[in-house]
A = this chain, B = another copy of it.
Amino acid sequence: MTEYLFDADTQEALTPVGHGEWNARVSPMWNIDGVPNGGYLMALCLVAAGQEVSHPDPLSMTSHFVGPTKPGEATVASRVIKRGRSLSVTAVELVQNSRVTVTSLITWGDLSALSGPSGPLRPPPILPENSEMQGGPQERGASTFIERFDFLMPSDMAMGAAGRPTGRAEARGRMRFEDGRPPDLMSVPVFADGFPPAVFQLGHYGWAPTLELTIHFRARPHPGWLTIDLASSHLLEGAFEEDCYIWDSQDNLVAMSRQMGRTLVG
């Protein structure tokens, strides 16, 4: 059982039915264009799987998005592959209508128990003062996800996310829960998959499905704004990687993630 409470919605969405299974209610409150955000689905699976292991922190989580998930009833099934002294490993699947929609592997440990050399520490990007940034995506519509966060972006990138691209596959800014809840490790997936994609800044504005997303969890976040830095370095025939780095309000790197995505719009 972890010490984290991502949020009441997520916890309450899971009803244990034993043997590492939960009945899950996929909330419609985390939709992008009517579809549940992939990071939200990862967080549901992460919160469930964390209840099966004694290690407090996820260290690395990979999810493959196998098929579409809809708001509504689902099942989460977690299997412990290893319970070790320093690490545990779990596999967890989200199942809807008898089909796996998201499958994940998670390695668990204790971030506070790590010890060893430190070396290069990736610093956060230099951003304008919060008061000089813009409020991020305004186009909500079927994107209930966006209502749950405050966003801040430099002006050029905020316009890029709204259809006036910068021409560089980079996006950065700040993000926090709109209701004031502090971020925790269980909520990292929604931040890692929640910022307007870097390929929007190339003008590929539209549906960009994620095939696979991997997160390395590096530190428990302090309360406050998270700083997000996104970039795609290689877009070829519609397939791209997106790298995301997340720092907390104390400038500690909380997580780095990479996804393989597809952009379906020219």
Q: Which residues of A contact B (CB under 8 A)?
A: 59-60, 62, 64, 66-67, 81-82, 84, 87, 89, 91, 99-100, 103-105, 107, 114-122, 169, 199, 202, 204, 211-212, 214, 216, 218-219, 232-241, 253, 256, 258, 260, 262-266
Contacts and interface: CB of A to CB of B under 8 A. Distances in A.
- Copies of this chain, count: 2
A115 B81 CA distance: 38
A235 B119 CA distance: 5
B105 A103 contact: yes
Contacts of A214: 62, 212, 214, 258
Contact of A119 (B87, B199, B211): B199
A260 B216 contact: yes
A266 B233 contact: no
Contacts of A260: 59-60, 107, 216
A234 B262 contact: no
Contact of A121 (B87, B212, B236): B236
Given A122-B233, A169-B120, A234-B218, A212 B107 contact: yes
Contact of A100 (B81, B202, B234, B253): B81
B235 A117 contact: yes
Contacts of A120: 169, 202, 232-235
Given A114-B239, A234-B253, A66 B91 contact: no
A125 to B, nearest CB: 13
